[in-house]
Structure 1
Amino acid sequence: MSDLDLKGRGILVTRAAHQADDLVERIQTSQGRAIRFPALEILACEQPGPVRDLLQRSWDMIIFVSPNAVFHALKLLAGNRLQATLGAVGEATAAALRQSGYSIDLLPADRYDSEGLLMLAPLQEMTGQKVLVVRGEGGRALLGEGLQARGAEVGYAEVYRRVRPAVDPYPLLAQWQEQVDLVTVTSIEVMENLIALVGDSGWPLLQHTPLLVISERMLRHAESRGFQTVLLAAGANDDAIMSAIQNWVERTS
Structure 2
Amino acid sequence: MARLVLTAPRPRVLALAAALRDDGHEVLELPFIEIESLADEPAQRAVLADAAAFDLAVFVSPTSIDVFVEALKQPWPDRLCPAIVGPGSLEALAAHGLDRHPGLLMPAGPPFDAASLLALPALAAPCSLRVLVVRAEGGNRQIEDTLTERGARVTALAAYRRQALEVDTQARETLARWLGSDPSAGSELLVVVTTVDSVRSLGELADGDERTRSLRAARALAIHPRIAESLRRDGWARVDLIGPGLAGLRGALESVPGAGEGSPQRSGRECD
| RMSD, aligned CA | 2.8
| Cα gap change, 1:99 to 1:219, in 2 (>3 Å) | closer
| Cα gap change, 1:92 to 1:212, in 2 (>3 Å) | closer
Match of residue 140 from structure 1: 140
Deviations 1:218-250 (A, max 9, x none): 1112222222221110x1022221222332336
- What TM-score, normalized by structure 1, do the two folds share? 0.81
Match of residue 207 from structure 1: 216
Match of residue 156 from structure 1: 156
Q: CA separation in 1, counterparts of 2:55 and 2:18? A: 39
| Cα gap change, 1:49 to 1:220, in 2 (>3 Å) | same
Question: Offset of 1:20 from its aligned partner?
Answer: 3.0
Match of residue 130 from structure 2: 130
Q: 3-state SS of the aligned residue for 2:11?
A: helix
Match of residue 241 from structure 1: 249
Determine whether 1:183 maps to 2:186. no
Structure 2: gaps (5+ residues): 182-187, 260-272
- The number of residues matched between the two structures is 243
Q: How does 1:1-253 map onto structure 2 within 5 Å?
A: 6=1, 9-45=2-38, 48-57=41-50, 58-79=53-74, 81-82=76-77, 83-102=79-98, 103=101, 104-111=103-110, 112-169=112-169, 170-178=172-180, 181-201=189-209, 204-233=213-242, 235-249=243-257
| Cα gap change, 1:13 to 1:98, in 2 (>3 Å) | closer
Question: Offset of 1:70 from its aligned partner?
Answer: 1.9
Question: Offset of 1:183 from its aligned partner?
Answer: 0.8
Q: 3-state SS of the aligned residue for 1:177?
A: helix
Question: Offset of 1:30 from its aligned partner?
Answer: 4.8
Compare 89-98 and 184-193 and name the one that shifted more.
89-98
Deviations 1:28-69 (A, max 9, x none): 455532222222211112862101222333323211122221
Structure 1: gaps (5+ residues): 1-5
Q: CA separation in 1, counterparts of 2:69 and 2:247? A: 26
Letter in 2 for 1:158: A
Q: CA separation in 2, counterparts of 1:212 and 1:46? A: 32
Q: CA separation in 2, counterparts of 1:176 and 1:250? A: 17
Question: Residues 128 and 151 of structure 2 are in contact (CA less than 8 Å); yes or no, is this contact kept in structure 1?
Answer: yes
Letter in 2 for 1:109: A
| Cα gap change, 1:60 to 1:197, in 2 (>3 Å) | same
Q: 3-state SS of the aligned residue for 1:75?
A: helix
Q: CA separation in 2, counterparts of 1:198 and 1:53? A: 44
Q: 3-state SS of the aligned residue for 2:257?
A: helix
Letter in 2 for 1:96: A
Question: Residues 131 and 152 of structure 2 are in contact (CA less than 8 Å); yes or no, is this contact kept in structure 1?
Answer: yes
Q: 3-state SS of the aligned residue for 1:163?
A: strand
